[in-house]
Amino acid sequence: MRQGLARIIQNGLEVAQIREADSGAMLLALLRHQSSDVVLLDVTLPGRSGLDVLRQVKHERPRMPVLVLSVHPAEQYALRALRAGAAGYLTKDLAADELVNAVRLVVRGERYLTPAVARQLADALDKPSAKPHDELSDRELQVLSLLGAGKRMRQVAEELCLSYNTISTYRSRILTKLSLNTSTQLVRYALRHGLAD
């Protein structure tokens, strides 16, 4: 996937150099030693969540434009990403020219918002959300999404490079925050709200 995105950007923008990182730690190390015009960051990373990495990038490099790219629909993570400092939010089903246009805009210091994200942002400004899952941390939302898709806790632990006990703790917190009692209720909640990954 990274190689395909790199080719799209290379062909569309004729950039001098594209560097790839397979984890948040690797990205942060690259940015500490080399300058960059833009970062294209996935929400789902092994170990640390992409939104946590985004906050760290913005702390260390406040002017660095970061485009967040995700398989998750905008309803799940777009507002969280923008609040954390992202210059735009894209889903992985985007067209190649849309990605190139987004990169161009954020490098010039502008934001890139799809119509769906712009509507969501406008709605959020009009009225505060009353959805219980909006109170979840980024990692809790990610765990809810994976468990809601029917994955077992051990699978979620492996996918996120976390321990089984850590995922169990997240699951307990999610159940408490959403006033749920069972895993079945958790799955139903995730499906009903379009949060299943």
- The Cα–Cα gap between 71 and 73 comes to 6
Q: Residue 87 in contact with residue 67, Cβ under 8 Å?
A: yes
Same-domain status, 53 and 92? yes
Whether residue 149 is found in the same domain as residue 58: no
Rounded-to-integer distance, Cα 64 and Cα 21, Å: 16
Residue for token digits 């299943």? 196
For residue 85, which of 122, 117, 111 has the smallest C-alpha distance?
Answer: 111
Overall average pLDDT of the 8-18 stretch:
71
* Number of folded domains that form the chain: 2
What pLDDT sits at residue 69? 86
Q: Is the pLDDT of residue 165 over 80?
A: yes
pLDDT at residue 192 in the model: 87
CB atoms within 10 A of CB 184: 9
Q: What CATH number should be reported for the domain holding residue 150?
A: 1.10.10.10
Residues 154 and 108 in one domain: no
pTM as predicted: 0.69
State which residues form the domain around 32: 2-126
Please tell me the predicted confidence (pLDDT) of residue 16: 60
Lowest mean pLDDT among 1-5, 30-34, 120-124: 1-5
12 with 72, same domain: the answer is: yes
Q: Which range has the worst mean pLDDT, 85-89, 122-126, 152-156?
A: 122-126
Distance, in Å, from the CA atom of 8 to the CA atom of 20, rounded to the nearest integer, reads 14
Burial profile 3-16: b = 16 or more Cβ within 10 angstroms, e = fewer = eebeebbeeebeee
Check residues 153 and 94 and name the one with the higher pLDDT: 153
In a domain, residue 10? The reply is yes
Q: ∠ CA 185-117-20 to the nearest 5 degrees?
A: 90
Domain assignment present for 104:
yes
pLDDT, one tens digit per residue, over 46-92 is 777 888 899 999 999 999 999 998 877 777 778 888 888 999 998 87
